[in-house]
Amino acid sequence: MKINELQHSLVRDVKEVENLLISKVESYRRIALEETQRFKVELDEKQMALQMQMEQVEFYRAKSSESLEIINVCQNRIDNYKMEIKELTKQFEVSQDHLVKLNTELEIKDNLVVKLNSECEHLKMELGGAKNLSASLAKENSELTKNIKEMTETIIEKD
């Protein structure tokens, strides 16, 4: 009878261990599913943030190109004004009245050159800021891409 009881006890213990193991497996599956879903949501959020940052990078690249075009136009104007001033200076041999008039025109053109130079400097500063922001966003994009890759690898390893 003792063998029978031992056998019964062993079967009962095995069933109990089996039930515990099944319970643990189900618990681990549920936890893994929850973690996977949480990582997926987090990944989706980061991908959306990354997409928005990429759009910002494109915006600032376009602004940078636009600023370069404006700087080139201003620089061409400055060069044209300088050439015009040189030509006017060479062309005219003027009397005192013409000299006063010419000096007035030169002063106006010099003021325009100063204004254009100031405008160009301002645009160059804006371009520098846009380039810095673009580089910063590119660096952040790289870090986010690396983080996404690591998270993806972590998820794959857990599965």
How many angstroms separate the CA atoms of 143 and 60, rounded? 19
* 93 phi, psi to nearest 5 deg: -110, 110
**Under CATH, to which class is 2-158 assigned?**
mainly alpha
Per-residue pLDDT of 141-159, as tens digits, reads: 888 898 888 888 888 877 6
- Domain extent listing, the chain: 2-158
How many angstroms separate the CA atoms of 114 and 110, rounded? 6
Q: Which residues of 31-70 are buried (b: 16+ CB within 10 A; e: fewer)?
A: eeeeeeeeeeeeeeeeeeebeebeeebeebeebbeebeee
> Residue 115 is encoded by which pair of tokens?
């204004």
* 77 phi, psi to nearest 5 deg: -60, -45
Per-residue pLDDT of 102-146, as tens digits, reads: 788 889 888 988 888 888 888 888 888 888 888 888 888 888 898
Q: Confidence class of residue 25 from pLDDT cuts 50, 70 and 90? A: very high
- Per-residue pLDDT, averaged over 77-85, amounts to 91
